[in-house]
Amino acid sequence: MHAFSSLALPAPFLANLASLGYQEMTAIQAAGLPAVLSGRDLIAQAKTGSGKTATFGIGLLQKLNPRYFGIQALVLCPTRELADQVANELRRLARHLDNVKVLTLCGGVPMGPQIGSLEHGAHIVVGTPGRIQDHLYRQTLDLSHIGTLVLDEADRMVDMGFVDDIGRIVEACPARRQTLLFSATYPDSIRRIAAPFLRDPLEIKVESQH
Binding site for ligand ADP (CB under 6 A): 21-22, 24-26, 29, 46, 48-54
Residue 177 interacts with Mg ion (CB under 5 A)? no
Residue 179 binding partner per list ligand ADP, Mg ion, none, with a CB distance cut-off of 5 to 8 Å that depends on partner kind: none
Shortest CB 53 distance to Mg ion, Å: 5
Which of 104, 101, 108 is CA-nearest to residue 67?
A: 101
- What residue is closest to Mg ion based on CB? 52
Nearer to ligand ADP, 93 or 194 (CB): 93
Beta-carbon contacts of 135 under 8 Å, excluding residues fewer than 6 positions away, are 105, 111, 114, 115, 118, 141
Q: Which of residues 111-140 bind Mg ion (CB under 5 A)?
A: none
Shortest CB 53 distance to ligand ADP, Å: 3
Helix axes 52-63, 27-37, angle to 10 degrees: 20
In the chain, alpha helices (H): 11-19, 27-37, 52-63, 80-93, 111-120, 129-137, 154-159, 163-172, 188-194
Decide if 202 contacts 55 (C-beta within 8 A): no
Q: Which of residues 44-73 bind Mg ion (CB under 5 A)?
A: 52
Shortest CB 204 distance to Mg ion, Å: 15
Nearer to ligand ADP, 22 or 197 (CB): 22
Nearer to ligand ADP, 9 or 25 (CB): 25
Shortest CB 200 distance to ligand ADP, Å: 24
Beta-carbon contacts of 27 under 8 Å, excluding residues fewer than 6 positions away, are 46, 50, 206, 208, 209, 210
Nearer to ligand ADP, 16 or 114 (CB): 16
Rounded Cα distance between 41 and 36, Å, is: 7
Residue 99 binding partner per list Mg ion, ligand ADP, none, with a CB distance cut-off of 5 to 8 Å that depends on partner kind: none
Residues forming contacts to Mg ion in the complex (CB under 5 A) are 52
